[in-house]
Amino acid sequence: MSFYQEMRAVVLQHEAINNAYLDRFQSGHLTDEEFRQFAVEFYNFARFFPKILMAAVDRRGCA
């Protein structure tokens, strides 16, 4: 098994992406309140993503 395959297996088993909330999200079974909260959190993440990305690039000396 390649390094990539090993890491992919680890990631796919991690609870950050393998959990009941995301299963309900994927199947469309969130409550209105859960979906509203997701929208608020995702908006804030998306709004700050360029800054997060640039901070990561700067730390690696790639900018």
- Helix 20-27 and helix 32-59: axis angle, to 10°? 110
Angle formed at CA 13 by CA 11 and CA 17, multiple of 5 degrees? 70
pLDDT tens, position by position, 6-44: 999 999 999 999 999 999 999 999 999 999 999 999 999
Closest to 42 in 3D by CA, of 27, 60, 18, 22: 22
Q: What per-residue confidence (pLDDT) applies to 62?
A: 64
Q: What per-residue confidence (pLDDT) applies to 56?
A: 87
Q: How many helices (H) and strands (E) does the chain have?
A: 3, 0
